[in-house]
Amino acid sequence: MEIFKYMEHYDYEQLVFCQDRQSGLKAIIAIHDTTLGPALGGTRMWTYESEEEAIEDALRLARGMTYKNAAAGLNLGGGKTVIIGDPRKDKNEEMFRAFGRYIQGLNGRYITAEDVGTTVADMDLIHEETDYVTGISPAFGSSGNPSPVTAYGVYRGMKAAVMEAFGTDSLEGKVVAVQGVGNVAYNLCKHLHEEGAHLVVTDINKEAVRRAVEDFNAKAVEPNDIYSVECDVYAPCALGATINDVTIPQIKAKVIAGAANNQLKDTKHGDLIHEMGIVYAPDYVINAGGVINVADELYGYNSERALKKVEGIYNNIARVIEIAKRDGIPTYQAADRLAEERIERMRNSRSQFLQNGHHILSRRP
């Protein structure tokens, strides 16, 4: 991989490698774009097959956060960290403390939070070293685990997409096929069940499936059978790239709306589902509830205010669908347009000179 070539192509600002031999920390912080504000994005801990795979993931996820934050109306740029390691075996206190010091060294250009493989307890350790971390324990007056709020946002966004496909936003009696019933999707299933939706679920973790079957009267299917389920909505809530050449011909749903990041394997798959008349709720618009919630900590966390903003994901999805119809483009392109136009508007509005503490004028005797 030619790193600078890749960074130049998508206009990345910074890539930081952090190594601490004592704790075993190997982390990569990617900062994509800080036009709107400091880069906020979670820390993923994962057993990457190679360093190249980890770098690519950090870069790809950081760029996703630029778009997510911009489309959500947050004054934040996009960044992400990956820590190379097994979250079940390789974590230790020194690792997250060392990582916290690296974040502190960036002096606010990057703010972290949870992602796959990291928890509130990990954020609390980072917080011992830096204030540039969110999603820390409610005991510190903070927002805690973002997953339930992400789930609420996905539920709201799903309703907006269902409105477009069925002419009503009620989920009562609708069949929703949920792929992966982890932290976010378990909470999503709770909302759907309460509204009277019928759930079909799958997971590679049998215990997660058992819980959903027991708590929400869900029907379980094998992981590979989830795509071909006769359903109204397919909710990808596990991994990325599940909308691809193999799965698209199997999908019966009229709506795709779920929590997973990077759901389209390639943009061509967004075009394909658009041509099939499927209403696709773009991933980074519908799953922004978690980041909206943790970002509220920067103002002094207020859960009521944060939930109100997350409720607005309904309107954001409706707006994306409207732009797509107006401009005759797939929804994933409409979402990109929404985010890019906001970043451009803000870039232009900042072109006016404003003196700050580092400017030569401030340093004159």
Ligand X SMILES: NC(=O)c1ccc[n+]([C@@H]2O[C@H](COP(=O)([O-])OP(=O)(O)OC[C@H]3O[C@@H](n4cnc5c(N)ncnc54)[C@H](O)[C@@H]3O)[C@@H](O)[C@H]2O)c1
Q: Which is nearer to ligand X, 98 or 123 (CB)?
A: 123
144: partner contacted, choices ligand LEU, ligand X, none (Cβ within 5-8 A by kind): none
**Residue 35 near which of ligand LEU, ligand X, none (CB within 5-8 Å, type-dependent):** none
Instruction: Compute the C-alpha angle 46/79/205, nearest 5°.
Output: 30
Residue in 147, 247, 316, 333 binding ligand X, rule: CB under 6 A: 147
Using CB under 6 A as the binding rule, whether residue 201 contacts ligand X is answered as: no
Would you give the distance in Å from CA 331 to the centre of its chain? Answer: 17
* Smallest distance from ligand LEU to CB 361, Å: 36
From the list 5, 26, 68, 80, the catalytic residue is: 80
| Token pair of 143 as six digits | 């927002």
User: Contact between 237 and ligand X (CB under 6 A)?
Assistant: yes
Nearest approach, Cβ of residue 160 and ligand LEU (Å): 19
Residue 116 interacts with ligand X (CB under 6 A): yes or no = yes
Q: Least Å distance between CB 65 and ligand LEU?
A: 7
Q: Closest separation between CB of residue 2 and ligand X, Å?
A: 27
Interface segment toward ligand LEU; rule CB under 6 A; list 2-10, 109-117, 195-203, 301-309: 109-117
State the nearest-atom distance from the C-beta of 38 to ligand LEU, in Å: 12
- The listed partner (ligand X, ligand LEU, none) that binds 184, CB under 5 to 8 Å by sort, is ligand X
Q: Taking CB under 6 A as the rule, does residue 85 contact ligand LEU?
A: no
The option from ligand X, ligand LEU, none interacting with 81 (CB < 5 to 8 A, set by class) reads none
152 strand-pairing partners: none
Among the listed residues 205, 217, 267, 315, the single contact to ligand X using CB under 6 A? 205
Q: Tell which one of 117, 146, 148, 312 touches ligand LEU (CB under 6 A).
A: 146
State which of positions 270-329 bind ligand LEU (CB under 6 A).
287, 290-291, 294
Among the listed ranges 34-42, 165-173, 274-282, 324-332, the one in contact with ligand LEU (CB under 6 A) is 34-42
Residue holding tokens 């950081």? 62
CA nearest neighbour of 269 among 316, 225, 227, 222: 227
Q: Given the complex with ligand X, which of 229 and 237 has the nearer CB atom?
A: 237
- Catalytic-residue membership of 308: no
Q: Which stretch binds ligand LEU (CB under 6 A): 27-35, 40-48, 162-170, 197-205?
A: 40-48
Q: How many residues bind ligand X (CB under 6 A)?
A: 25
Partner whose footprint covers residue 113, from ligand LEU, ligand X, none (CB < 5 to 8 Å by kind)? ligand LEU
**183 binds ligand X, rule: CB under 6 A:** yes
Distance CA 281, CA 259 (A): 10
Angle between helices 313-327 and 147-166 (to 10 degrees): 40
Question: Count of CB atoms within 10 A of residue 158's CB?
Answer: 30
203 contributes a contact to ligand X by CB under 6 A: yes
SS (H, E, C) the chain: CCHHHHHHHCCCCEEEEEEECCCCEEEEEEEEECCCCCEECCEEEECCCCHHHHHHHHHHHHHHHHHHHHHCCCCCEEEEEEEECCCCCCCCHHHHHHHHHHHHHCCCCEEECECCCCCHHHHHHHHCCCCCECCCCHHHCCCCCCHHHHHHHHHHHHHHHHHHHHCCCCCCCCEEEEECCCHHHHHHHHHHHHCCCEEEEECCCHHHHHHHHHHHCCEECCHHHCCCCCCCEEEECCCCCCECCCCHHHCCCCEECCCCCCCECCHHHHHHHHHCCCEECCHHHHCCHHHHHHHHHHHCCCHHHHHHHHHCHHHHHHHHHHHHHHHCCCHHHHHHHHHHHHHHHHHHHCCCCCCCCCCHHHHCC
Active site residues per annotation: 80
Residues that bind ligand X (CB under 6 A): 116, 146-147, 150, 179-185, 202-205, 208, 223, 237-239, 259-261, 287, 290
Name the site residues for ligand LEU (rule: CB under 6 A). 40-42, 68, 113-115, 135, 146, 261, 287, 290-291, 294
